[in-house]
Amino acid sequence: MTPLRIAILGTASSGKTTLAAALAERYRTLWVPEYLREFVDVAGRVPVATDQIHIARTQLAREDAAAAGARRYLFCDTAPLMTAVYSRHYFGGIDAELALLADAHDYALTLVTTPDIPWVADGLQRESEAVSVTIHRMLHEELAARGIAYVPISGDMAQRLAQVDQALAAL
């Protein structure tokens, strides 16, 4: 059985990774870490515009690989749509191939983590707290423009898990 892919979107320091890991444990399945973290660690730098398509392609390839071992759900810590939002913000636009990947947003459920937890800087990867506010707004605008329904996830971990449980039960 093909697992349902669940996209977890949000700004830096909004709890996506922590939530994805907790959900995978809770539902005894797999989660796909955000490739951008690895990219920054390995490259020792933040991405440039030409890196964006590689980041999005790699993220999707890792989702495809993980899907084979996932049970019922596959929790995805980000998606090409989030890469597109960052591209628009940092580079003034989205390259055509990245736009196609973002357009193919094919997830059974999209969760958007609210940046209502303490913001923590994380080396090269994290933008400022002020930029996170802008990215959060841009993400909501992008979802609305594309007609993508989503569930906002907020509060402490227990509240976030309960909100996701309810959303998954409604699928």
User: What's the total number of domains in the chain?
Assistant: 1
pLDDT for the residue numbered 34: 95
Give me 96's structure tokens: 């055509």
How many Å apart are CA 137 and CA 142, to the nearest integer? 9
- Write phi, then psi, for 149 (nearest 5 degrees): -70, 145
Say which amino acid occupies 39.
F
Give me the domain span that covers residue 138: 4-169
Model pLDDT, residue 1: 81
Length in residues, the chain: 171
pLDDT, block means (10 residues), the chain with 171 residues: 95 92 98 94 92 96 97 97 95 94 93 83 64 91 95 97 98 93
Specify which residues 111 forms β-bridges with: 8, 151
Asked whether 105 and 79 are in contact (CB, 8 A), the reply is yes
Specify the amino acid at residue 169.
A
Q: State the CATH number of the domain containing residue 135.
A: 3.40.50.300
